[in-house]
């Protein structure tokens, strides 16, 4: 079957930003130009007034299968991703059991292959059980289909082990993603500051993150192996990464929409839907994260989609689980950065597609002969966040009731429409 996407604003960052048509056959893009005749296709998608982008990639999500399927299955997660405009997601290994061996990696890939949603790329663990006490079999995990390594959720406390992990990962060619946290300093439940003091909640200082970021930069410099820093939340981390990049150290970084949208004030009244790790920070940190996005210090926007049920969230603040769902609100919150002139549309697409693909070695872009992984975005679509309507099995969002502008109206994976509200 041939599909024609007509009259959209086609943006492929750095290569193309123009009104054009895209013709797709057998899952591949076969033509991109203006005025492709409608008779060339059996299915027409009218995209006038819409943005046609390379498929968005979320390089940091938590699906809860195997082990906690009541929070999110691979199937529900893939559907939530497709609804959010993502054609691919990278799933973190803190499942039960942990994805630290080839059986779990293969299980995730096999289950995902039966789902009608985004692609799934499993991230495997750095250390068995995420315990930080030894190294997994990276060569075997890569062969099984893992695309990166991370102990996300837990830091690798031992610097020698992290050095060895980098050397081994570099040797087999698997990118390494760091959850940067100095746990001796991070024993609180929210950001250290005025709100924490007022609420009587023990605080987590910025240094709990930035000390660990600085160590990863030092190890990256020592080994020459690239390190990707997950969920950057503080000004000091942004400064350290900016400085490292200036010195030519191969470090990359991501942040999440909640860090550039909210501050720790969202925790007021002990709102556990504003509890995550790292925590929401101050206004100054939020601004520094925005500056880091604008000047390229922060390469990627990833959601850290972390579904939890009411069982883990409707409890005392200090006992509540860390994490928020993000797949179905990320694009609208990122488009707000474009309206606020923090990013151009092309830069936003870069951070949600091209750069994650580059960091992870995945295919991306709108190229003749390339896979038709495409997201069509309506930047004017007004909608209200209603968690009960999420495709995700969990509803733990701090954005309930927010008025949003902009939505993915069609998501296509290898020429197959996995979600459409057109
Ligand atoms: O908020 C978080 N939730 N941070 C993490 O590092 C882990 C994640 C989870 O798995 O729920
Ligand atoms: Zn995470």
Per-residue pLDDT at 37: 97
355 alpha carbon – ligand 2 mean position (Å): 18
Q: Which atom of ligand 1 is nearest to the CA of 230?
A: 6
User: Could you write out the DSSP letters of every residue in 60-114?
Assistant: EE---TTT-TTT--HHHHHHHHHHTTEEEEEE-S-SSS-S-SHHHHHHHHHHHHT
pTM (2 d.p.)? 0.98
| H helices present in 234-340, as ranges | 235-246, 257-261, 283-294, 310-313, 330-339
Q: Which atom of ligand 1 is nearest to the CA of 307?
A: 11
CA distance 305 to 324: 6
Mean pLDDT across 308-319: 98
280 alpha carbon – ligand 2 mean position (Å): 14
Measuring CA to CA, which residue among 55, 143, 131 is closest to residue 93?
Answer: 131
Tokens linked to 351:
């951070």
For ligand 1, whether the C-beta of 62 sits within 6 Å is: yes
Q: pLDDT over 90 for what percent of the chain? A: 100
Per-residue pLDDT at 278: 98
Mean pLDDT across 300-325: 98
Q: How many CB atoms within 10 Å of residue 141?
A: 26
CA distance 360 to 162: 19
For ligand 1, whether the C-beta of 130 sits within 6 Å is: no
Whole-Å CA distances, 406 to 227, 337, 382, 403: 32, 12, 6, 10
Mean pLDDT rounded to a whole number for the chain? 98
Point out the ligand nearest to the CA of residue 280.
Answer: 1
2 alpha carbon – ligand 2 mean position (Å): 39
54: helix, strand or coil? strand
Q: What is the pLDDT of residues 90-137, one digit of tens each?
A: 999 999 999 999 999 999 999 999 999 999 999 999 999 999 999 999
Choose which residue among 180, 321, 397, 398 to substitute to test ligand 1 binding: the one with the highest number of ligand atoms within 8 A of its C-beta: 321
Tokens linked to 202:
């023990």
Per-residue pLDDT at 277: 98
Mean pLDDT across 166-191: 98
Per-residue pLDDT at 305: 99
- Residue 360's pLDDT band (cuts 50, 70, 90): very high
Nearest CA, atom 3, ligand 1: 323
245: helix, strand or coil? helix
Q: What dihedral angle (degrees, nearest 10) is formed by the CA atoms of 392, 29, 405, 333?
A: 60
Nearest CA, atom 7, ligand 1: 153
Q: What is the pLDDT of residues 80-94, one digit of tens each?
A: 999 999 999 999 999
Angle subtended by helix axes 207-223 and 159-172, to nearest 10:
50
Nearest CA, atom 4, ligand 1: 277
276 alpha carbon – ligand 1 mean position (Å): 6
CA distance 384 to 406: 11
Per-residue pLDDT at 242: 99
Residue 304 is a catalytic residue: yes
Q: What is the pLDDT of residues 49-62, one digit of tens each?
A: 999 999 999 999 99
Measuring CA to CA, which residue among 373, 292, 372 is closest to residue 337?
Answer: 292
Q: What is the pLDDT of residues 183-207, one digit of tens each?
A: 999 999 999 999 999 999 999 999 9
The domain segmentation of the chain, as residue ranges, is 2-51+370-420, 56-360
In the chain, what is the straight-line distance between the N-terminal and C-terminal CA atoms, in Å?
A: 19
Which residue in the list 7, 299, 304, 373 is annotated as catalytic?
304
Angle at 88 between CA 84 and CA 89, to 5 degrees: 85
Point out the ligand nearest to the CA of residue 325.
Answer: 1
Point out the ligand nearest to the CA of residue 71.
Answer: 1
Fold of 2-51+370-420: Urease, subunit C; domain 1 (2.30.40)
Mean pLDDT across 221-244: 99
Per-residue pLDDT at 196: 98
For ligand 1, whether the C-beta of 94 sits within 6 Å is: yes
341: left (phi over 0), alpha (psi -120 to 50) or beta: left
61 alpha carbon – ligand 2 mean position (Å): 6
- Residue 251's pLDDT band (cuts 50, 70, 90): very high
Residues in the 5 Å CB sphere of ion ligand 2: 152, 304
- Residue 417's pLDDT band (cuts 50, 70, 90): very high
Number of H helices, E strands in the chain: 13, 18
Per-residue pLDDT at 104: 99
Nearest CA, atom 5, ligand 1: 153
55 alpha carbon – ligand 1 mean position (Å): 25
Which helix (H) or strand (E) segment is 420 a member of?
strand 416-420
CA distance 189 to 181: 13
CATH 3.20.20.140 holds for 56-360: yes
- Residue 24's pLDDT band (cuts 50, 70, 90): very high
The 3-state secondary structure of 134-192, one letter per residue: CCCCHHHHHHHCCCEEECCCCCCCCHHHHHHHHHHHHHHCCCEEECCCCCCCCCCCEEC
């Amino acid at each position: 079957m041939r599909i024609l996407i007509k009259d959209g604003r086609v943006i492929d960052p750095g290569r193309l930003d123009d009104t054009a048509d895209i013709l797709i056959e057998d899952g591949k893009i076969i033509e991109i130009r203006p005025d492709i005749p409608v008779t060339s296709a059996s299915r027409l998608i009218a995209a006038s007034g819409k943005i046609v982008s390379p498929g968005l990639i979320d390089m940091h999500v938590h699906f809860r299968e195997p082990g906690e399927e009541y929070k999110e299955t691979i199937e529900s997660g893939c559907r939530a991703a497709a609804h959010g405009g993502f054609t691919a997601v990278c799933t973190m290994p803190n499942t039960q059991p942990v994805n630290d061996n080839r059986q779990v990696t293969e299980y995730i890939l096999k289950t995902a292959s039966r789902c009608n949603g985004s692609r799934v790329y499993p991230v495997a663990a750095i250390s068995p059980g995420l315990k930080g006490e030894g190294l997994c079999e990276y060569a075997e995990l890569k062969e099984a289909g893992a695309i990166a390594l991370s102990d996300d959720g837990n830091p690798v406390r031992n610097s020698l082990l992290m050095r060895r992990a980098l050397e081994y990962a570099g040797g087999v060619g698997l990118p390494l993603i760091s959850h940067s946290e100095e746990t001796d300093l991070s024993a609180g439940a929210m950001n250290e500051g005025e709100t924490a003091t007022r609420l009587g909640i023990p605080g987590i200082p910025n240094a709990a993150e930035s000390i660990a970021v600085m160590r990863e930069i030092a190890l990256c410099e020592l080994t020459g192996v690239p390190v990707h820093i997950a969920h950057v939340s503080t000004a000091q981390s942004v400064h350290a990464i900016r400085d490292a990049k200036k010195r030519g150290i191969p470090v990359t970084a991501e942040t999440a929409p909640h860090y550039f949208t909210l501050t720790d004030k969202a925790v007021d009244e002990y709102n556990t839907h504003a509890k995550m790790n790292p925590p929401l920070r101050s206004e100054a940190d939020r601004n520094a994260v925005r500056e880091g996005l604008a000047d390229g210090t922060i390469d990627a926007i990833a959601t850290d989609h972390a579904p939890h049920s009411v069982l883990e969230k409707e409890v005392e603040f200090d006992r509540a689980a860390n994490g928020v769902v993000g797949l179905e609100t990320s694009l609208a919150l990122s488009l707000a950065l474009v309206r606020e002139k923090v990013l151009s549309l092309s830069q936003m697409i870069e951070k949600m597609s091209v750069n994650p693909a580059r960091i992870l070695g995945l295919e991306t872009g709108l190229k003749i002969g390339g896979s038709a992984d495409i997201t069509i975005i309506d930047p004017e679509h007004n909608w209200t966040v209603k968690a009960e309507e999420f495709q995700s099995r969990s509803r733990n969002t701090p954005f309930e009731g927010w008025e949003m502008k902009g939505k993915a109206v069609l998501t296509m994976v290898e020429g197959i429409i996995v979600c459409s509200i057109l």
